[in-house]
Amino acid sequence: MTLTANWSYPTTIRFGAGRIAEIAEACHAAGISNPLLVTDRGLAQMEITARTLDLLEAAGLGRALFADVDPNPNEKNAAAGVRAYRAGDHDGVIAFGGGSGLDLGKVVAFMAGQSRPIWDFEDIGDWWTRADADAIAPVIAVPTTAGTGSEVGRASVITNSETEEKKIIFHPKMLPAVVICDPELTVGMSPFITAGTGLDAFAHCVEAFSSPHYHPMSQGIALEGMRLVKEYLPRAYEDGNDIEARAQMMSAAAMGATAFQKGLGAIHALSHPIGAIYHTHHGTTNAVCMPAVLQFNRSAIAERFETAAAYLQIDAGFDGFCAFVDELNDNLGIPKTLNGLGVTDPDIDRIVAGALKDPSTGGNPIPMNRENTTELLSRIL
């Protein structure tokens, strides 16, 4: 089955195997003539990155590369990227990679034209209006994993290296102008990364579906996103060359990030401080937290997950859905506790405080407080 399409929601998306060949055309469409390709250190050494730079160079767009990006990108990476952007007199960014490269690339394009500190644009109230919107550079997003969905998002998660807190930097114009979703770029992902990123997409859909906020469009997208992960993540995990499974997971990732406009919840509220402090893989941390959070929210979400279970062809309603999540985690090699991710002797008070400050708490269907969040964390440990 060939999966190729052009979509205009939530932004312009060129979807299909081999479409990285259109990278120069995408730059022209976005008005970019001198792009800076931003990716992480690991991807900088890979063939898919060299091939993309070759395509840019052949089209007369140069081959400028910035790859000083940590797994959890921080404000120091952002400042270095902005310096490289300005020094090269660039007029746009190609954000290339998984969540790290995508998030940092978007922030570099955003911050290159700003005069205020990055933390002045945290996703709090209307802080985004502080930005000079006309100075935000265009972004071409090219995901090489199928998880975060940052390619269709209007924000980036950046770690404050001093406080070890993950912050969400937001502006509507951070949404990439063009996205190239080429599943061939994800074929080289290891089973571990395939599982972790795929379950990140699943967590986005689960939490959006659980959120009490009213957004029926996101609700429908979240439901179908869960179905795609259920059907295709095991296939991608078992056979990394299954291009249909890889393509469907790229769709699920974009759908999860589109759906969570409706809200996230306790999974991400906990995962953000845990990842910032202990440097765990984000999607895998989400997966570890998910079973306990489903039970934590049971009284508020059980009824709606009866509907989801029926659509997903899972027997026994909410309990059946929870059993499915447990089995999926087991089959993908996900640890049952944070100890399995190397989080030993954690600072519980610090994690709980970070979780309660995280904006994701606002989308959790059960209000989170110090007492119940501490109890929830103890189950995950």
> Tokens representing 210?
């659980």
The closest of 311, 257, 265 to 292, measured between CA atoms, is 265
> Count H helices, E strands: the chain?
14, 9
Give pLDDT, residue 335.
97
**Chain position carrying tokens 């071409």:** 140
State CA 163 to chain mean position distance: 22
- Across the range 185-207, mean pLDDT stands at 96
* Contact (CB, 8 A) for 65 and 41: no
Instruction: Count the residues in the chain.
Output: 381
Q: What angle do CA 56, 37, 111 make, to 5 degrees?
A: 140
Counting Cα atoms < 13 Å in the Cβ hemisphere of 360 gives 24
**Is the per-residue pLDDT at 35 higher than 90?**
yes
Pairing between strand 92-97 and 139-143? parallel
Q: 55 near 21, Cβ under 8 Å?
A: yes
* Cα 245 from Cα 240, distance rounded (Å): 8
Bridge partners for 93 per DSSP: 36, 139
Give me the residue label for tokens 């979780």. 355
> Which stretches of the chain are DSSP H helices?
23-30, 41-44, 47-58, 75-87, 99-111, 191-210, 216-238, 243-259, 266-278, 282-296, 298-311, 317-331, 348-357, 370-380
User: Can you read off the two tokens belonging to residue 94?
Assistant: 């190609």
Helix, strand, coil % over all residues of the chain, rounded to 5: 60, 10, 30
CA distance readout (Å), 288 to 113, 239, 309: 39, 23, 21
Nearest residue to 196 via CA among 69, 289, 297? 289
**Mean pLDDT score, 26-54:** 97
Tell me what percent of the residues of the chain surpass a pLDDT of 90.
Answer: 98
| CB within 8 Å of 60: residues ≥ 6 apart | none
With residue 143 as reference, give the H or E element that holds it. Answer: strand 139-143
pLDDT for residue 188: 86
Half-sphere exposure (Cβ direction) of 241: Cα atoms closer than 13 Å: 0
Tell me: the pLDDT tens digits for 361-381?
999 999 999 999 999 999 999
**Strand partners for 140:** 94, 178
pLDDT at 62: 97
Q: Please say if the pLDDT value at position 350 is more than 80.
A: yes
Distance CA 189, CA 238 (A): 12
Q: How many CB atoms lie within 10 A of CB 112?
A: 22
Distance in angstroms (rounded) separating the CA atoms of residues 363 and 358: 10
Pairing of strands 139-143, 178-181: parallel
- Residue 12's pLDDT is 98
- What is the residue-averaged pLDDT of the chain? 97
**Quick one: pLDDT at residue 1?**
66
282 pLDDT higher than 70: yes
Cβ 25 vs Cβ 82: under 8 Å: no
| CB 268 within 8 Å of CB 203 | yes
Asked whether the predicted pLDDT for residue 2 surpasses 80, the reply is no
Average pLDDT over residues 136-152: 97
